[in-house]
Amino acid sequence: EVQLLESGGSLVQPGGSLRLSCAGSGFTFSSSAMTWVRQAPGKGLQWVSTISDSGDRTYYADSVKGRFTISRDNSKNTLYLQMSSLRVDDTAIYYCAKATGTTSNWFDPWGQGTLVTVSS
Amino acid sequence: SYELTQPPSVSVSPGQTASITCSADKLEHQYVYWYQQKPGQSPVLVIFRDTMRPSGIPERFSGSNSGNTATLTISGTQSLDEADYYCQAWDSYIALFGGGTKLTVL
């Protein structure tokens, strides 16, 4: 069974940094693109970033470009999201998901999410 | 910029057919994906590549994509289908989600 387990969410002050992790199991992690999607409280889904299976290609939403960095360690079956210069509007549940497809990915399955709260 | 537009809410009676639309310019040229999210839960993929249903998703879920509109259809809607539904597509290496549609079964 494919499982994704996020961790690292917490309360952080505006301007601060945080690193999220997503541990994958039950599939060949090194052969799978991975993605982060977030959901602000009471709002819809917002794509954040996607990384290729080898990690050599990364893609970002304009709202996080230059502030967030997606990476992976295939030896540890773990996906990361390094977040810096955090803003109040980055407050959200952050989900990781396995991305499948070639030029057009779909996201399945999703982890349970980790909550990031940016507040002073 | 490219945007996916969904109706905020759709209501359906149990046993009837629910249709949730997702609109964008020339959407038929993109693959569309659909996710179901129940309160307090993570999203679940219900349709991929416009019309394909993942294993474990009931046959009552189907999808189509033509012109500027993709549609998620739920036939014989059940109370357990009550949830938020999101469409998703790609535009130049940017993944986009629609704003979501709350399906109410009453």
- Tell me whether residues B88 and A107 touch, CB distance under 8 A: yes
CB A5 within 8 A of CB A21: no
Tokens of B10: 């759709």
pLDDT of residue B84: 98
- Residue A113 pLDDT level (bands cut at 50, 70, 90): very high
The model's pLDDT over A18-48, given as tens digits with 9 standing for 90+, comes to 999 999 999 999 999 999 999 999 999 999 9
Place of tokens 């360690």: A73
CA distance B34 to chain A (A): 9
Give me the residue from B54, B90, B97 closest to A45, CB to CB: B97
Place of tokens 């509007």: A89
Q: Which residue ranges of chain B lie beneath pLDDT 70?
A: none
The model's pLDDT over B65-82, given as tens digits with 9 standing for 90+, comes to 999 999 999 999 999 999
- Tell me whether residues B97 and A47 touch, CB distance under 8 A: yes
Tokens of B16: 């009837």
CB A18 within 8 A of CB A10: yes
Tokens of B104: 């109410």
Q: How, if at all, do strands B33-37 and B44-47 pair? A: antiparallel
Residues of chain B with Cβ-Cβ distance to A65 below 8 Å are: none
- Residue A120 pLDDT level (bands cut at 50, 70, 90): very high
pLDDT of residue A102: 72
